[in-house]
Amino acid sequence: MKSEDTPLKRDTQMSKSTAVYHVDTIGADALAGFFQSFSSAYEQIEQALLLLDLEPNTPSLIDDLIQSTRLIDQSLEQLSFDELQNLTHSLLGLLQDIKKGQIEFSSELSDIILITINDIKTIIETVIDSNKPCVLLKRIPKVCHAIEQISHTPPMQLHSAIKDTLMLLDPSTELIEPSISNTDSLKHLFDESAPDAEELAAYGVEESEDFIFFKSLSAPLESRAQYWNSRNQRMLRLALKMNDEAGRPVDPNQLAAAIYLHDAGMALLPLDIINNTDSLTEEQIQQVREHPQFGFELLRYMKSWQEAAYIILQHHERVDGNGYPFGLKGEDICDGAKIVAIVDAVDARTHERGHAAMLKRPLLRAAMEIGKHADVQFDSYWVNIFRSVFQQMRKNSRENPADGLN
């Protein structure tokens, strides 16, 4: 980055600029080449970040990130997207400091990189679609300054600087207090309160006596672990929305009942397993893998809820056959279980207890990882349905930037 490039100068440039790129003056071939190059680099960045979560001290992966970010920077330069290059310059400075060992790579930094690159993509798509300035352009100077400040922050204050940058990029990212983990990480997708009868009816759910009973069991079951609070409400709306998007192939009543009771078996496990943050023993792993059968047993003798029972039984199966309890594959797994598998993974990723300082992960990261496991852990058809719902909500967030969905 040039030494004279400062946040103040960027603010001045932005105020003088129309912030509208006249893409109609760019040839179709040039745009096509840009998106091909950008998409390739974007995929390489995603892959490197996923691997770095597993192996954070791998120099070759940091080099991959630097190389891919440079490719994006060069592509932006070719089309004169000058404001956006400020973002890539800031990221390259941060990555160089990580490479030199001046900053330790962390999952929070991974999120910052991912969201920043995705913002670049969102801005370009918005400008090309409407030839109007994207609202995200306004925050570029602040984002660049925040990213650059990370490298100059004393170690004792580094976590706060990283958290502040994440919250600037994604306002839905916030600290979860260990004793009151009630905030809905999908609040920008759906309202955080429990759905009322009218909302449930819109999704095709009837509040029968049985359903009200299942719903009443949900709260005490969730109380077994503080990070489970409100998780069934979070999962319910996403599951019903996905089912709606697909034309309701699953009975909404059965799907909703399964959501409320899908982890009843987990709640019956010993607390030393539920709250364990270390590796489980083989015996403990076996106990965890038996939990879908407990939920199944609760419903198996209720003739009206057989579909829900099998959704619960199969919700940890994988399409590649490596799930549990029976190792079912592909078409042998019911659609309801495939939906629950995805929404369960999304909630676990955005409310994961092992993340540093109980920091919620951006929904964008969860969406990326769900996509990476299509046709392996998750059914590709339902992954695409989830992507469709996610993209609809992202489109809404562009029109209402205060929502801060990323």
The per-residue pLDDT for 357 is 35
269 lies in a domain? yes
pTM tops 0.75: no
Query: Is 189 within the bounds of a domain?
Result: no
Domain coverage including residue 223: 197-403
Residues 110 and 236 both lie in one domain: no
Each residue of 142-200: pLDDT tens digit? 999 999 999 899 988 998 898 889 888 876 554 333 332 223 333 445 455 677 888 88
Q: Is-contact 142 14, C-beta < 8 A?
A: no
Number of domains in the chain: 2
> Which tokens in the block code for residue 392?
């609809």
Q: Is residue 160 part of a domain?
A: yes
The pLDDT tens digits of the residues spanning 94-116 come to 999 999 999 999 888 988 998 89
Q: Per-residue pLDDT averaged across 213-225, rounded?
A: 79
Which domain-ending residue is among 169, 186, 206? 169
Regarding whether 78 and 164 lie in a shared domain, the answer is yes
CATH number of the domain encompassing residue 90: 1.20.120.160
Encode pLDDT of 30-57 as tens digits: 778 888 888 889 888 988 887 887 777 7
Average pLDDT over residues 326-336: 96
Residue 23: per-residue pLDDT: 54
Please report the pLDDT score of residue 98 as a whole number: 93
Q: Is there a single domain that holds both residue 164 and residue 205?
A: no
Does 138 share its domain with 223? no
* 192 inside domain: no
- In Å, how far from its chain's centre is CA 191? 17
Judge if 228 and 265 occupy the same domain. yes
CA distances from 346 to 83, 139, 203 (A): 33, 28, 20
- Place 264 in a pLDDT band, splitting at 50, 70 and 90: confident
Is the pLDDT assigned to residue 382 strictly greater than 90? yes
Confidence category of residue 137, pLDDT binned at 50, 70, 90:
confident
Report yes or no on 175 lying in a domain: no
Specify if 282 maps to a domain: yes
Kindly state whether residues 161 and 229 are assigned to the same domain. no
Cα 91 from Cα 70, distance rounded (Å): 10
User: pLDDT tier at 13 (50, 70, 90 boundaries)?
Assistant: very low
- 114 and 234 in one domain? no
Q: Is residue 355 part of a domain?
A: yes
203 and 153 housed in the same domain? no
Say what the pLDDT of residue 69 is.
96
Angle (CA) 325 367 192, round 5°: 90
